[in-house]
Amino acid sequence: MRLTAEQRAVVEHGAGHARVAAVAGSGKTTTLVARVWHLLERGVPPSRLLVLMFNRSAREDFQTRLAALAPSEQRLPDVRTFHSLGHRLTASLTRWGALAPRQLLAADWQVERLLRQATLAALDDDPERREVALEADTLDALAHFCGLVKAEMIAPAALYERLDLGAECGHFVGAFDHLEHLLADHGLMTYADLLFRPLRALEADAALSARVQGFLDHVIIDEYQDINQAQLRLLATLAGRDAAVMAVGDANQCIYEWRGAHPDTMREHFATTFGPATDYPLSTTFRHGHALALAANHAIAANRRRPDQLCLAAPGTPATRLVVAAGRAALLDALADWRRDGRRLDETCLLVRSWALSVPAQLALLQAGVPFRLAREDRFVFRLPLVQALAGYLRLSRDARLLADPALLQRLLEQPTPFVARERLATLARRLATTQHFPERHDPLIADLKPLQRRNLKRRWALLCELPRLSSWPPARLLAHVVERLEADKVLKRAAARRDKGEEDVRLLDVLIEQAGEVRDLDAFIELLERPVENHAEGMLITTVHGAKGLEWPLVVLAGANEEDFPHYGRDNPLTPERLEEERRLFYVAITRARERLLVLHDGGEHRPSRFIAESAWQECQRVGERLDEPQATGPPLAVSDPALVGRYLMALGRSLPLEPARRPVAACTEPAGGEAFSVGQRLRHAVFGEGEIAVVEGDPANPVIEVRFHQAGRRRLIARRAPIELLSVVPG
């Protein structure tokens, strides 16, 4: 097994704890397999060695590679996920009488049934709220909330106070308590309980904790940056004072904070939990070439909470090509070029920050006849209930006879939710289909509804009756009218269990209207929305950046790289410095999935390219990478925006190139005098929009997004440090 000097240092680590900072594609699995064999060859009994992997597929891959090197009679150490470790520990504690016997709920429908029962119990006195609370998205959010309570070992009321949950989630704390009673009464447990129950029992009983300690000499944990509080505390309990812990991970790839992970777990919390450790870097990536390695270094450089470590491309890695473009035509052109080169579509992946941003790509691929597949089939845009309902509204504009179809009327009354029980809506739909008149307010069918509910349903019926008269409108105008009359953005935000889910639903509406603007024929757009779709195994994979963690492809397309989409923020969801760093780590993970080609797509038009594109300095990195790949790296000095970073990269490679600082564009923003932050009330002059006054400042104070009221151009949102502006005043007024 050939190893680099950095890898050998990890393999041959001596006594005590160790932290291994491994960049994306650095061969850490190969290194850890070699580390295990190093320990076995030095006489460590397999039973005294534990390896913990992040998920089942990583565990199976590690076990396969370990077994491939083992003689037939060689015993191998335990390789587990945290859940399988918790399963074994739960069995032991149950056998000892410390835990009551419980059966694991393995099927999603079993958990959903209990979540429904807990929700109904928590909303026993509010039957109208139950309808939204029992929808799949809200139940999913409740399941996530309950799991996070156990992952972070925190009181449900404290977690609810901390999380940014919508008004429709006020029952979550009560539902958690009801769920716990249901699980106990029926002798059941969830996957989260596999860690939560043993940990509570061990931390409550020192003698019991001592009973599970002393069995391990070495513990190796992969993807350490992603472990949560329950996993960390359980690991510390089992390791005790004697086991040497080796944590392997990359704080720059910590993208599961919403699941309880924290970037400081790798950097700071390790020493607090286990004690002093020897630090080892795995800085060399075997995945991609110099251009992408440099772009990744630039992309993450602005984060304050990060390791001081560069990603270096190994000799012989592909000369990765970087491209940034606007519009879906660039996606189709890239795939056409890929296929002309004799490459397969199943070697490609399209990444998005959220599923709503995949809609333009889904429509473009479908219209062009390019096969694709989604990591989650339920995220096919055409299968979403909201999209099916919008298609129904448009179809009704073409055929007034559909007003007599009770099934269609029910679907349109239900989406987006009017916060009325589904059974009542079904009855109302049948009545409307028959009478073609909305009931009077004293009618028993609607008399006991709240005034706002009655008014919304009546407005929705008026819209349905109006639509057949608007059939001549172009698709985008008609769809925008439907969305506006439904007040869909307000409804979706209110109904969402999490703010980010509501914003994603609203973004989906925006994307659909934008796509409708590219189609002149309403019937063609309706047909497109209602077209049956299925996954094609040989097609391009579409998935989220979170779903791509740990994976790689020869060609990666990152779509939807627009400001406010990625990083994700808005007027109601400001971008704090901490969230900006998390978004930047997500971007870092996204671009480092590519091996040979990376295409970053923004939408163009009114959408501004993401700040992360400029931060990556991709064009400079491409030029430096090309120069490094030349047999004789000669030529004029290369202009780079960060000579210190590029110089460090070259020094680490043992290479040299002539560099010079890139000239700052004349249009770049002037710094506020004295280094003060941008603030509301400051006056400025824009090279295009003229003079104006700052009305809103959002995001990272060092690189904020500002909203300016221009005297001639109205309100505009700008990235302050990149906009062609000159500050005319520092102190407001």
Q: How far is CA 146 from the centre of its chain?
A: 19
Q: Stretch 611-635: mean pLDDT, rounded?
A: 89
Rounded-to-integer distance, Cα 92 and Cα 73, Å: 28
Record the tokens describing residue 507, joined without a space. 């973004």
Rounded-to-integer distance, Cα 332 and Cα 326, Å: 12
Q: Stretch 542-569: mean pLDDT, rounded?
A: 93
pTM of the model: 0.81
Q: Please report the pLDDT score of residue 673 as a whole number.
A: 42
Rounded-to-integer distance, Cα 446 and Cα 224, Å: 55
Q: Which is more confident, 515 or 44? A: 44
Contact 257, 500 (CB under 8 A): no
Q: Please report the pLDDT score of residue 168 as a whole number.
A: 75
Q: Given a cut of 60, is residue 733 above it in pLDDT?
A: no
Window from 48-62, 117-131, 151-165, 496-510 with minimum mean pLDDT: 496-510
Residue 732 — very low, low, confident or very high, per pLDDT cuts 50/70/90?
A: very low
- Residue type for 94, please? T
Contact 658, 708 (CB under 8 A): no
β-sheet bridge partners, residue 684: 692, 727
Rounded-to-integer distance, Cα 647 and Cα 416, Å: 55
Q: Stretch 556-576: mean pLDDT, rounded?
A: 88
Contact 719, 705 (CB under 8 A): yes
β-sheet bridge partners, residue 553: 594
Closest CA to 726 of 688, 700, 699, 697: 688
Percentage, residues of the chain above pLDDT 90? 56
Q: How many CB atoms lie within 10 A of CB 361?
A: 23
Closest CA to 336 of 590, 560, 543, 557: 557
Cis peptide before 567 (omega within 30 of 0): yes
Q: Please report the pLDDT score of residue 591 as a whole number.
A: 97
Q: Please report the pLDDT score of residue 257 as a whole number.
A: 80
Residue 669 — very low, low, confident or very high, per pLDDT cuts 50/70/90?
A: very low
Q: Please report the pLDDT score of residue 664 as a whole number.
A: 53
Q: Which is more confident, 526 or 539? A: 539
Window from 64-73, 446-455, 580-589, 679-688 with minimum mean pLDDT: 679-688
- Residue type for 122, please? A
Which letter does DSSP use for residue 265 in this model?
A: I
Residue 420 — very low, low, confident or very high, per pLDDT cuts 50/70/90?
A: confident
Rounded-to-integer distance, Cα 358 and Cα 508, Å: 9
- Residue type for 77, please? P
φ, ψ (nearest 5 deg) of residue 312: -115, 135
Window from 430-444, 559-573, 655-669, 678-692 with minimum mean pLDDT: 655-669
Q: Please report the pLDDT score of residue 406 as a whole number.
A: 93
3 state SS of 304: coil
Record the tokens describing residue 647, joined without a space. 């110089």
H or E stretch at 544: strand 540-544
Q: Which is more confident, 629 or 261? A: 629
H or E stretch at 598: strand 594-602
Residue pLDDT, tens place only, 173-190: 999 999 999 999 999 999
3 state SS of 660: strand
Q: Given a cut of 80, is residue 68 above it in pLDDT?
A: yes
Q: Please report the pLDDT score of residue 713 as a whole number.
A: 67
Q: Please report the pLDDT score of residue 113 as a whole number.
A: 93
